[in-house]
């Protein structure tokens, strides 16, 4: 899909990958609703983008996991720019580390990393099918294909996000709905270092696992790759190409891959102790 003149919503747009995607979209001629739980951040990013590309964005404080808030985001987009063509379900949280994650930890991770996507699709997809066009971009993670060492909540919810994106693509792909799924390894944002900053051994191992598995990319580099993939209407977006090889290894010998991951985790935990 050519994004010029299209209307986009980007959740988690107040920082990191979301802010970079919103900026790249505006640079490419789209109009963007920058949504973030942190209203101040959403407004600041929107003001910065408008400074460079006047009149291209509005910033909104919104919980991307809340149906009423998503409905309001869609209404703001329609009022300011027109019907939503692209929805970037990008807001995400790193979540709690191990089996001691509480019911509340699980509920929050499931809400932000998965149910936010489902709720947005429920509101948008029927209209897109009617119009014969629409684009849903899910920010999952390489952890949704390969598992995040050190975090059950993150691994499980990101796998579920990949599953939902696949399902959307299969179910609505022939009715004009495009779906892409972004699965990066390390990107230089606050979220990447949340595990390290948590002070927990498993959390620290989680950050170390991502940082040492490959290059840590800048959000702007990832945004450029995302926009190219949207232009090409490609489902799987892998800013770190080696993830494909790791995914193939997993598929070709699951037990061998699991043994390798356990070895890698032991080494990381030994380093962090």
Ligand X SMILES: NC(=O)c1ccc[n+]([C@@H]2O[C@H](COP(=O)([O-])OP(=O)(O)OC[C@H]3O[C@@H](n4cnc5c(N)ncnc54)[C@H](O)[C@@H]3O)[C@@H](O)[C@H]2O)c1
Residues at the interface with ligand X (CB under 6 A): 11-12, 14-18, 36-38, 41, 63-65, 90-93, 112, 139, 141, 184, 186-187, 189-192, 210
- Give 12 or 203: the residue with its C-beta nearer to ligand X: 12
Residues 6+ apart with CB under 8 A from 259: none
| Identity of the residue, 46 or 141, whose beta carbon is nearer to ligand X in the bound complex | 141
CB 1 to ligand X: min, Å? 21
Phi, psi for 87 (deg, rounded to 5): -125, 120
- Round to whole Å and give the CA distance between 253 and 181: 24
Task: For ligand X, give the closer residue by CB, 129 or 193.
Answer: 193
Q: How far apart are CA 18 and CA 35, in angstroms?
A: 9
End-to-end alpha-carbon separation of the chain, Å? Answer: 48
- Minimum distance between the CB of residue 222 and ligand X, rounded to whole angstroms? 8
CB of 202 to ligand X, least distance (A): 17
* Cα gap 180→178, rounded to integer Å: 7
Nearer to ligand X (CB atom), residue 30 or residue 161: 161
Sign for the pseudo-dihedral over CA of 251, 205, 220, 114: positive
Q: How many CA atoms within 13 Å lie on the side-chain side of 102?
A: 3
Smallest distance from the beta carbon of 141 to ligand X, in angstroms? 4
Q: What string of H, E and C letters represents the secondary structure of 54-89?
A: CCCEEEEECCCCCHHHHHHHHHHHHHHCCCCCEEEE
Candidate list 154, 172, 247, 254, residue with the active-site label:
154
Q: Count other Cβ atoms within 10 Å, centred on residue 263.
A: 10
Smallest gap from Cβ 6 to ligand X, in A, equals: 21
CA distance 143 to 265: 14
172 belongs to the catalytic site: no
- Please say which residue, 96 or 210, places its beta carbon nearer to ligand X: 210
Q: Which residues are catalytic?
A: 154
């Amino acid at each position: 899909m050519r994004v010029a003149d299209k209307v986009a919503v980007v959740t988690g747009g107040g920082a990191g990958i979301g802010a970079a995607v919103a900026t790249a979209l505006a640079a490419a001629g789209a109009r963007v609703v920058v949504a973030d739980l942190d209203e101040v951040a959403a407004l600041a990013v929107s003001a910065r983008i408008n400074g460079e590309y006047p009149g291209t964005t509005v910033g909104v404080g919104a919980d991307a996991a809340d149906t009423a808030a998503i409905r309001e985001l869609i209404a703001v987009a329609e009022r300011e720019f027109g019907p939503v063509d692209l929805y970037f379900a990008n807001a995400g949280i790193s979540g709690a580390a191990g089996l001691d994650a509480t019911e509340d930890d699980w509920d929050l991770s499931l809400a932000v990393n998965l149910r936010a996507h489902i709720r947005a699709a429920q509101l948008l997809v029927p209209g897109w099918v009617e119009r014969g066009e629409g684009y849903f971009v899910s920010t999952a993670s390489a952890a949704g294909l390969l598992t995040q060492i050190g975090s059950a909540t993150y691994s499980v919810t990101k796998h579920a996000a990949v599953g939902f994106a696949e399902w959307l693509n299969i179910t609505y792909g022939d009715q004009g709905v495009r779906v892409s799924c972004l699965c990066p390894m390390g990107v230089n944002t606050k979220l990447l270092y949340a595990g390290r900053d948590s002070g927990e051994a498993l959390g620290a191992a989680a950050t170390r696992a991502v940082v040492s598995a490959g290059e840590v990319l800048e959000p702007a580099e990832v945004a450029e790759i995302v926009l190219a993939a949207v232009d090409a209407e490609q489902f799987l977006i892998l800013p770190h190409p080696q993830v494909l090889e790791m995914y193939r290894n997993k598929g070709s010998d699951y037990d061998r891959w699991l043994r390798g991951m356990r070895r890698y985790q032991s080494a990381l935990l030994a380093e962090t102790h």
